[in-house]
């Protein structure tokens, strides 16, 4: 479940590894962005509760070890880019 007080409608979307995305969780408000599908590596799984917070970007330095679980399917890459841009545009307008 998304943390209480989180701005779900403005910042979150479902991430899934199935042909059809998981539905919203019981009691979960409507999320602001369309579901994104990923192709997970062998042996990896995504929980049905998995969500993307488009307002929380993280820079990964070149010397930091990371664990890759998969990648966004080609058809959804543009959707991710648009969601990030939209989310950050809204944050900038709200700050002004």
- Tens digits of residue pLDDT in 12-71: 999 999 888 778 888 888 888 999 999 999 999 999 899 999 988 888 888 988 888 999
pLDDT of residue 3: 57
Range ranked top by mean pLDDT from 5-9, 16-20, 76-80: 76-80
For residue 5, pLDDT over 60 is answered with no
Least confident window among 11-15, 19-23, 77-81, 86-90 = 19-23
**Which residues, 6 or more positions from 12, have their beta carbon under 8 angstroms from its beta carbon?**
2, 6, 31, 32, 33, 51, 52, 53, 54
Q: HSE of 61 in the Cβ direction (CA atoms, 13 Å)?
A: 2
pLDDT of residue 85: 93
């Amino acid at each position: 479940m998304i943390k209480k007080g989180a701005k779900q409608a403005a910042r979150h979307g479902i991430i899934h590894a199935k042909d059809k995305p998981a539905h919203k969780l019981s009691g979960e408000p409507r999320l602001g962005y369309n579901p994104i599908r990923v192709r997970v590596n062998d042996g990896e799984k995504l929980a049905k509760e998995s969500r993307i917070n488009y307002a929380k970007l993280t820079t990964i330095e070149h010397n930091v070890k990371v664990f890759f679980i998969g990648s966004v399917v080609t058809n959804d890459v543009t959707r991710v880019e648009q969601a990030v841009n939209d989310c950050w545009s809204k944050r900038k307008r709200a700050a002004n």
